[in-house]
Chain A
Amino acid sequence: MRWPPALVAGAALTAVFVLAAALSFLWTPAPTTGMDIAARLRPPGGGHLLGTDHFGRDMLSMLMVGARTSLAVAVVAVGFGMAAGVPLGLLAAARQGSLVDEVVMRANDLVFAFPALVIAILITAVFGPSAFNAILAIGIFNTPVFARVSRGAALALWTLDYVRAAQVAGKGRARISVEHILPNILNLLIVQGTIQFSLGILAEAALSYVGLGAPPGTPSWGRMLAEAQTMIALAPHTAVIPGTAIVLAVLGLNLMGDGLRDITDPRLRGAP
């Protein structure tokens, strides 16, 4: 089978970011903790490939460590959303039309009424800003997304013959959900996971930008943008570079998600 170009491009971009984040544990072009005021706000080129920020820190090194924060927050938050949402969705589908189904779906609607940012505001007002709270906010917001996707897909599967056969064979609903339904909605969940992952990166950046995410001292793309804001006229590269990193990472994940969807859903083949 030929791989869709979107998938190849997306996977390549994503790989670059994952590798950069992984490499940052072992090596960065320059340390990100020290200050070098003499070398502050250098434009790209020379000793610093992407220039330096207002403390004279190397932008490329900051980006690499920032990728770590973005990826970690997004992965954990999406994992949280999946871990909570998928079982709820499967449960609702297994008991379609029952009180459990109704309660799960209404609770979903309710969580949807609290946009991630509003959840983050509420959590921060109570516990103060931290990366953990950003994860919690994005994770809570992700839960109904996965519940809805897995319920919808599972409902369609419950009408199929092999599921009926399993019921006739005496398997319980929980066991059928895990053994027969879950494996067959896995590809759908992976596609949705990719999309939520990219939304998670955007959300983490936005939360850190307004000071509700990563605390000061933790390099994060959103924080870099917040710090660049006052110096944008003086040193545009401090704002342009982290933003470009966010766009490329999100673009990569979205392209990968679209490509994966095209492979798993042949009806969509050929659509850009």
Chain B
Amino acid sequence: MLRFALSRLASLVLSLVVASLVIFAAVEVVPGDPAAFMLGMNAAPDTVAALRHELGLDLALPLRYLAWTGGMLAGDLGLSYTYRVPVADLVLARLGVSLPLALYALALSTLIAFPVGLVAAARRGRAADWGIMAGTQLGIAVPNFWFAMLLVLVFAIRLRWFAAGGFPGWEAGPLANLKALTLPAVALALPQAAILARVLRSALIETMGQDYIRTARAKGLSERRTLVAHALRNAMIPVLTILGLQFSFLIAGGIIIENVFFLPGLGRLVFQAITQRDLIVVESVVMLLVFAVILVTFLTDLAYAAVDPRLRRRA
């Protein structure tokens, strides 16, 4: 297990290094001098030069790459060109919205998908199964941002149960914030729940054909207990994979949903940064998103190996 974990860790570090090189190179291609951009058209050349020096823009490329990555490791993401505050502070404040949103959506999609997938598997081939499969087929086809707009139309504009957007801030108390995040989380969760329910159903059906399930039935266990106690546990590997993948989709999907609901999260930060050409913010937030995805993949790999010892050898 330790050897497996170490080899996965090595590939995690390698992925991060390559990803940071790609991101750094991409942003370096952009024409224009951020210092000149920050100071405006009428800045004196020596003021621009002083700012370039202050931002470290006068260093050679490899040194700037090392300064950027070294800074990130120490928690210093640089200084935003437009906000003139440390990027780390901006990111941290926005993460306070994006992370709860992603976790809320993940919890919702799991809560919806498990009962639905179990029922479909237990009633395989019957009306309930066909109904659920048709519903999930539709759920996969619905773009989450459009679903979000429909939720706003029905629950915010017509019924007035929720606000159409915005975020009161954590000072307003957890309940007010939970309410503000509910429609966005539902919009994110439903298409994901549809995928998860389908994967769970087919994984369960696959395990239900195994010998140990026949044994469980033969010893007189009820169908429900067989399904929940024996089949579900063994169907967890594909489900874990999808859950891991979904986290990265939730992060990316969150970026769009935040724009529908005007939530001050990482997604809004990135889009503002793009329009303002605040490239250091784009660079750091993209790196952070990629880091999150790579980390989740790493953790999923470890989780598999813990669940199924057969997979450890494949390192």
Chain A residues with a Cβ under 8 A of chain B: 106, 109-110, 112-118, 121-126, 198, 202, 205-206, 209-211, 225, 228-229, 232-233, 236, 239-240, 243, 246-248, 250-251, 254-255, 270-272
**Chain B interface category by residue count:** 35 or more
Instruction: List 12 other contacts, CB 8 Å, given A106-B15, A254-B137.
Output: A113-B294, A114-B19, A118-B286, A121-B286, A210-B255, A239-B150, A240-B150, A247-B141, A251-B137, A251-B138, A254-B141, A255-B137
Please tell me which one of the listed residues A117, A126, A228 contacts residue B256 in the complex, with CB atoms under 8 A apart.
Answer: A117
A114 to B202, CA, bound (A): 28
Within 8 A of A (CB), among B134-164: 134, 137-138, 140-143, 145-146, 149-150, 152-153, 157
Q: How far is the CA of A112 from the CA of B25 in the complex (A)?
A: 19
Chain A residues with CB below 8 A from B140, complex form: 250, 254
Nearest CB on B from A66, distance (A): 14
Assembled-state Cα–Cα distance A107/B286 (Å): 18
Contacts of B150 in A (CB 8 A): 239-240, 243
Give the distance in Å from the alpha carbon of A233 to the alpha carbon of B153 in the complex. 7
Contact of A115 among B138, B143, B251 (CB under 8 A): B251
B23 contacts the other chain (Cβ, under 8 Å)? yes
B274 contacts across to A, CB distance below 8 A: 121, 124-125
For residue A207, give the distance in angstroms from its CB to the closest CB of chain B.
Answer: 9
**A110–B248 alpha-carbon span in the complex (Å):** 13
Residue among A211, A240, A271 having the largest count of chain B Cβ atoms under 10 Å: A271
Are B146 and A113 in contact, with the CB atoms below 8 A?
A: no
Chain B residues with CB under 8 Å of chain A are: 11, 14-15, 18-19, 23, 26-27, 29-30, 125, 129-130, 133-134, 137-138, 140-143, 145-146, 149-150, 152-153, 157, 202, 248-249, 251-253, 255-256, 259-260, 270-271, 273-274, 279, 282, 286, 289-290, 293-294, 297
Nearest chain-B residue to A125 (Cβ)?
B282
Q: Nearest chain-B residue to A268 (Cβ)?
A: B202
- Decide if the interface of chain A is mainly helix, strand, loop or mixed: helix
Query: B130, B270, B293: which contacts A121 (Cβ < 8 A)?
Result: B270
Distance of A85 from chain B, by nearest CB (Å): 18
Once A113-B297, A229-B260 are accepted as A-B contacts, the answer to whether A125 and B248 lie under 8 Å apart by CB is: no
Q: Which chain A positions have C-beta within 8 A of B149?
A: 225, 228-229, 232, 239, 243
Q: List residues of chain B with CB within 8 A of the CB of A112.
A: 293, 297
Residue numbers in B under 8 Å from A205 (CB-CB) = 143, 146
State the CA gap A137–B173 with chains docked (Å): 40
Identity of the chain A residue whose Cβ is nearest the Cβ of B148 in the assembled complex: A229
Select which of B152, B153, B202, B293 is within 8 A of A113 by beta carbon.
B293
The answer to whether A118 and B290 have CB atoms under 8 Å apart is yes
**Residue pair A113, B19 in contact (C-beta under 8 Å):** yes
Q: Which 4 A-B pairs have the closest CB atoms?
A: A243-B146, A115-B252, A250-B141, A272-B133
Q: In whole Å, how far is A267's beta carbon from the nearest beta carbon of chain B?
A: 11
Which A residues are in CB contact (< 8 Å) with B23? 122
